[in-house]
Amino acid sequence: MSVRKAAGASVAALVAATLALTAGCGAGGDEPAKSKERDKSGRPTASSPATPGEEPPPREDGRERKPKGPKREATPVVPRASLTPATGSFTKKEKKYLVGRVPEGLEPAAVLEAGRTACARLRTTAKASRKDAISALKAGEIDNAEPAIEHLCPKFEPLLKAAGKK
């Protein structure tokens, strides 16, 4: 019976992953390609539609136009006074790390765990290879690394400086 439940859960996870990967993908295969008008420099003219990833046409005065993206609304964060764990308390370092990082409705301990995970990942990577740790910091491969180093694991500041992030 437990094998069936596990298999059902695996199938459900596979279906969910497939739906997530294909969400927002239009068929588009049946539509003929639209020709785009271009000026002498090869840029689309003002009358041709801009496609995602393509530069918009320059302005009349020759300056580049910046593509307009969707505006993000600021996510409300939990105020400093309300940053308390379900049990126990946060240290001063932990509370400084959490200020301005905990969205409303999220447990502060979960955000703190993300910072601790960044420190742990840095620790294991640096133990194996200092060079790899610096490369990971440069590439932004370790989520929350900069604030985590600043507040939770300052012993890794030399790596952050070597990566050119501080």
Whole-model pTM? 0.54
The model's pLDDT over 125-165, given as tens digits with 9 standing for 90+, comes to: 999 999 999 999 999 999 999 999 999 999 999 999 999 98
- CA distance linking residue 111 with residue 94, whole number of Å: 10
Q: How confident is the model at residue 43 (pLDDT cuts 50, 70, 90)?
A: low
Sign of CA dihedral 120, 92, 76, 84: positive
User: Quick one: which of 61, 24, 13, 62 has its CA closest to 41?
Assistant: 62
- How high is the pLDDT of residue 118? 96
In contact, 124 and 110? CB cutoff 8 Å: no
Q: At how many degrees (to 10) do helices 108-128 and 130-139 cross? A: 140
Reported as type and span, the H/E element at residue 76 is: none
The model's pLDDT over 62-120, given as tens digits with 9 standing for 90+, comes to: 666 555 555 556 778 888 888 888 888 889 999 999 999 899 888 999 999 999 999 99
CA 57 to chain centre: 29
- How high is the pLDDT of residue 83? 85
- How high is the pLDDT of residue 82? 83
HSE (CB half, 13 Å, CA atoms) of 104?
Answer: 5
3-state secondary structure of 134: helix
- CA distance linking residue 6 with residue 117, whole number of Å: 29
- How high is the pLDDT of residue 136? 95
